[in-house]
Amino acid sequence: MTVGAILLLALDSHPLPAGAFSLASYQRLNDIEKMIQARATLAPDRWNRIEVYYSRTTGGNLAQLASLSGLANAQDVNFHFAIYNGRGGEDGGIQSTEKWLQQFSCIPGGSWYGSGTTIRICVVGDGQKVVPTDCQLKRAAALIEELSHKFNIAPANIHYPANWQL
C-alpha cells in the first residue's frame, strides 16, 4: 500500500499543498545565526532582556513600519528585529535594524519604557485581527532561543505580548 501511494505521488504532476505551515518555506528563510551578527562588537554582557511586541499594523516591511510611525527613515525605528507576516515581507522573514547592527539601545518613551539593555523584537501584526502566523511564531522562538543563549538571558527576562502563544 505504501509503495502504491509513493508511486501515485511520483506520477502526479502536482506538488503537495503547503498547508498552514510549510517546512520547505521555513527552511528557505534567512539564517538566524547570521541575522544576529552586527557590525559592532557583540559584548556578552551588553543585553539582559528581550521584549517581543506587535507592530499594531496588518502588514509592512521596515520602511513601511517606519513611515507608519511617522519616521522619515527606516534606520530610525525603535526596535532591533522585525519578523514579517507575509504582508510586506516574507512570512517569517527576520530583518535586523540599524540599531542592532550598531548595537544601539532602543529609546524609552511612547508606549515602551524598557531599559537600554533590552533587545526589542517587533512582530508584524496587531495580535487581534492579524495574529502571528505559525511561521512568525516559530521564527520568533528560534530568534529568542539564539539571542538568549548568546547573551545568557534568563527566561524570566523575556517578555511577550499578553496573548502570545508559545
Residue pair 24/92 in contact (Cβ under 8 Å)? The answer is: no
Number of domains observed in the structure of the chain? 1
Residue 11 falls within a domain, yes or no?
no
Instruction: Tell me the pLDDT of the chain averaged across its residues.
Output: 84
Residue 31 falls within a domain, yes or no?
no
Quick: pLDDT tens for 71-103.
Answer: 777 788 999 999 999 999 999 999 999 999 999
Residue pair 66/77 in contact (Cβ under 8 Å)? The answer is: yes
Residue 14 falls within a domain, yes or no?
no
Residue 117 falls within a domain, yes or no?
yes
pTM: 0.80
What pLDDT sits at residue 75? 82
Residue 18 falls within a domain, yes or no?
no
Residue 66 falls within a domain, yes or no?
yes
Residue 82 falls within a domain, yes or no?
yes
Residue 111 falls within a domain, yes or no?
yes
* Structural domain boundaries enclosing 118: 54-161
Quick: pLDDT tens for 129-138.
Answer: 999 999 999 9
Residue type at position 65: L
